[in-house]
Chain A
């Protein structure tokens, strides 16, 4: 395949950056002039070979951001650059090639596989779509990948209802990896699984990442999973990234009050600590009509009563190397 003129590398991506998201906006129209501000000006980079985690509450736009990167939804404005090529405006053959190198693992494996198809058909579909015409060739590739994810070939003749959740999640991972992508987005890959199976799938992801040199983008609301798996973590709140840091910085020195509250809520049992001051009141505001100023201010222990937070949206401030936070009063949040 000859690359079209659009696929010339753009000079702005450095080689170690695999995905660059610039000022991405995705709103959904609701009618009567209402819009859901799902992703509102997100800039983010994913480096080659790293595991980047994205955490946040449901409805904050995590999945929409991932889908926008994969071009599963059309974005309103901004830009996504994958491996030097512009994803947001790619067309035809170029888009198809891009999609081949970016794959998605879904949260619910039962929903991701057609209940009426044998797994052989589901698993082979991406190969057929991407032009692997020889049946034997397809079968060989499937068997090799199944072995890699720890399944044997008997599973090919089964239908989803004949398998356990853990087995199906392995099938979904195998299907995503059959096209040898560089970039794998995992949207809550373990949240529908039991604790004992969760550990198996996480081990598998780590193994595959090392063996295949994958770059992972992991979406999760389970901070323990994120802490285990990720090199860097981004925290999302109501369509915005409010903090980005390396894993250790984020968990040991969180700067945003929201990050602090999330960590306190998620890891409270572990520390056997009483969930005291850090516990958040209420639920996220509506993304249809996000609050003015800092979007977190209605729930924020620091900014709830401050005029600045009510009126002015904070800019990203550097806390340290590779650590950005979007909060007016982050030094205060870090010290308490």
Chain B
């Protein structure tokens, strides 16, 4: 008899069930129009999905990019500071900054053979510090209401430019992952690094690429979020690390590497967004939602733990 907590489906199954239950709760409440509900789900998706995607890809490679949260807020701060004068330059600067930081991280990790957790911790703190310097420890207001309206304007009732970009990122990554050599090499790098190297895979290039991408995606999310809200704050506009990790693991990414995919990560993010919307619809306060989200993360950490099955076997 197959245990429901078997290898591939552990955390995911439970939360698909929870997510669907909450979707049902949403439908039942019916206070807001379905379009609006979908729109807000996708807006939250637009914030979390790129970050979860970047982080998830590093996890598939059996690494971990802790810095995604601060890179996101740094990019937002850079973009907002420059964007008051010229939004396009601001956005480009922010995203290039993210790509640059990611590239640097990847090079340090592979060039010196260091653990990605410790390096990304250092980058996390440095990027946070830079954000404070860029903004002078102030919240930067963009004062471009037409820009934020445009970014968040509903397209086809449920999308916005932000969410469309996030969906595009997912789609492009999914295609590359599923249909090209790069995806194969990525999975091999995370699945068994030594075997991949022996077979001839350029694992170092893969790691550098994945960290660069992670930085760029986090930056993109941060830039668009700041533009959309017309404000940037050095302490970050939203805590994104916890939802990103949860989304990735729910979506099938394994901490041990080699498992998961962009589609899975997107799926996991959607579940999370559904959870969020469902809880909102049920009138649960944001603080209580925090508690529930933490319970989700705990459950995820426990069920994904290597020795969890021993607990079950007792």
> Do the two shown chains form a genuine complex with each other?
no
B residues with CB within 8 A of A: none
Residues of A within 8 A of B (CB): none
